[in-house]
Structure 1
Amino acid sequence: MTVVNVGFQVLPTVPDHMNSYEVVDKAIEVVQRSGVKYEVGAMETVMEGEMDELLEIVKKAKQACIDAGASQVMTHIKIHYRPEGVSMDEKLEKYR
């Protein structure tokens, strides 16, 4: 199993009476419940793990936005892949 990083951002379209941040929170809850290593940032959430599992989490996060009242969701996804694996820690340690 190769460890990859997947960064994603959901941009839900919500009715005027709804707060889009609350809908995004539902997507983040999906990630939190998944058990994978993750970090929430101001513009996206980054996860670490096996690619198929992470992409399945992204699908569930998108659906959580729809279930929370979004009429549609734009999802931006970035994948960092290296055959020998890649970790969030190796990319962030010099900044912490």
Structure 2
Amino acid sequence: MINHKINAGLQVVPHTEHLPIYPIIDEAIKVIQQSGLRYMVTPMETVIEGHYDEVMTVVKRAQEAALAAGAQELVVTLRLHIKKASDVSFEDKTAKFN
């Protein structure tokens, strides 16, 4: 069981027949924003920080939001950074650059 905070990089790429994709992506990001978890939107993915089960729930809801917004299918890329004995935080990876 994973009890520590993790980082997840989530990219949701919708496929639609006639709709522009960015408003659909915005709906997925809105779910992340409303989750209460720490997140960072980047040009290629959104990184989420939180406990494993919380993060995975948000990942699922973001996909559902994209489908509800009109996507016919999704290509989802999910990358996880997990440590066995401690939390993972944004600062672990970025502090030396700030």
Shorter-chain TM-score bucket reads over 0.9
Q: TM-score, normalised by structure 2?
A: 0.92
Gaps of 5+ in 2: none
Q: Aligned with 1:34: secondary structure?
A: coil
Q: Which aligned pairs between 1:10-49 and structure 2 lie closer than 5 A?
A: 10-16=12-18, 18-49=19-50
> 1-side partners of 2:74 and 2:54: how far apart?
20
> 1-side partners of 2:6 and 2:41: how far apart?
16
> 2-side partners of 1:7 and 1:51: how far apart?
13
Residues matched between the structures, number: 95
Quote the RMSD (CA, aligned, Å): 0.9
Gaps of 5+ in 1: none
Q: Which aligned pairs between 1:41-80 and structure 2 lie closer than 5 A?
A: 41-80=42-81
Q: TM-score, normalised by structure 1?
A: 0.94
Match of residue 8 from structure 2: 6
